[in-house]
Amino acid sequence: MSTLSTNSSKNLDAGQIITDSPSYWSSVRSNLKNDPVTIAFALILLSLLLSAIFADLLAPLDPYKTNMLKRLKPIGTEGFLLGADELGRDMLTRLIYGGRLSLLMGISPVVAALLIGGLLGLTAGFVGGKVNMSIMRVMDVFYAFPSVLLAIAISGALGAGIFNAIISLTIVFIPPIARVTESVTTQIRALDYVEAARASGAKSLTIIRVHIISNVAGPVFVYSTSLISVSIILSSGLSFLGLGTEPPQPEWGLMLNTLRQSIYVNPWVAALPGVMIFLTSLSFNMMSDGIRSAMDIKL
């Protein structure tokens, strides 16, 4: 036993710090700094967001003003930088204004679903047992449908309109967010630090607040960001089908639909709203991927 009773136990580690490693968040920050692709897409998103917010200042013309003489003018026409649509409205103006509704309809369902689905998943994961079973079985029923069909079906049942489209997309995104939250929560709940917190006599709500949410938030948040890209496409799709916004409101999906007939006359102008949808969706996707790898999250 002599090997065990070596020198005194106190102050042995006091001076040694194995590595002067940075804290978690500063290492995430430096990972992001070294990732130009993610930064580029984040900047694109930022400019899209700002141009939607400040559309009144940026847009050259009135988005509702029709001009029969300018119908379907090509890109680069004098005074109509990106051409004009089938009613002679300025495309650039309508694309800028269109960002407002498209982003609103793309982002708000995910935010709402994050709140509701996150709460459901957290509850299911933390409580476990029968509560988990009942919540997750209901989620599975919704999850079994392809999201496009589900969105169309619910929107169709609720009727056209922005608000109804947002509700239907929220319902579409609750199950996947709840699932991810549930699986991360279940994983974390079983860790020893949660056991230790319970052993210290903390109530469940305190444990969730201090120990669970801080560790579940990252992965769930990153996952939700990746859903925004899907949501942008789905909401445009609903508008395209006449289930979201209604004419003459500028919205990318709806614009794509009304320009559809002109595709042989002026394909470049007709494709512009699609480009915007694609660019926005891609940017959200790339950004969430970049953040995920910077945070080293495995889903």
Partner 1 sequence: MSETILEVQKLKKYFPIKGGILNQTTAEVQAVDVIDFVVARGETLGIVGESGCGKSTTARLLMQLIKHDDGEIIFDGYAVGKSGGITTREMRKRMQMVFQDSYSSLNPRLPVESSIAFGPIVHGVNKSAAQKKARDLLIKVGLNPELFSRRYPHELSGGQRQRVNIARALALEPEVLILDEAVSALDKSVEAQVLNLLMDLKAEFKLTFIFISHDLNVVHYISDRVLVMYLGRVVEIGDVSAVYNYPKHPYTRALISAMPSMDPKKRTEAVPLVGDPPNPISPPSGCRFRTRCPFSEDICAIKEPILIHTDLKKRQSSACHMGDPDSGHSRTNLNGLPK
Chain-centroid distance, C-alpha 138: 23
Does 211 sit near partner 1 (CB under 8 A)? Answer: yes
Give residue for tokens 């549930």: 182
> Site mask, partner 1, residues 22-41, x = CB under 8 A?
-xx-----------------
Question: Is the separation of the CB atoms in 81 and 60 below 8 Å?
Answer: yes
In the bound complex, what is the minimum distance in angstroms from residue 19's beta carbon to partner 1?
Answer: 7
Does 199 sit near partner 1 (CB under 8 A)? Answer: yes
Select from 47, 204, 206, 261 the one that contacts partner 1 (CB under 8 A): 206
Does 205 sit near partner 1 (CB under 8 A)? Answer: no
Does 8 sit near partner 1 (CB under 8 A)? Answer: yes
Does 62 sit near partner 1 (CB under 8 A)? Answer: no
What is the secondary structure of 190-241 as a DSSP string? TSHHHHHHHHTT--HHHHIIIIIHHHHHHHHHHHHHHHHHHHHHHHHHHHHT
Q: Which stretch binds partner 1 (CB under 8 A): 14-22, 74-82, 141-149, 235-243?
A: 14-22
CA quadruple 283, 289, 293, 295: dihedral positive or negative? positive
Q: CB burial class (10 A; 0-12, 13-18, 19+) of residue 34?
A: exposed
Q: Which stretch binds partner 1 (CB under 8 A): 39-47, 54-62, 159-167, 210-218?
A: 210-218
The residues of the shown chain that bind partner 1, judged by CB under 8 A, are 1, 3-19, 21, 23-24, 133, 191-193, 195-203, 206, 210-211, 214-215
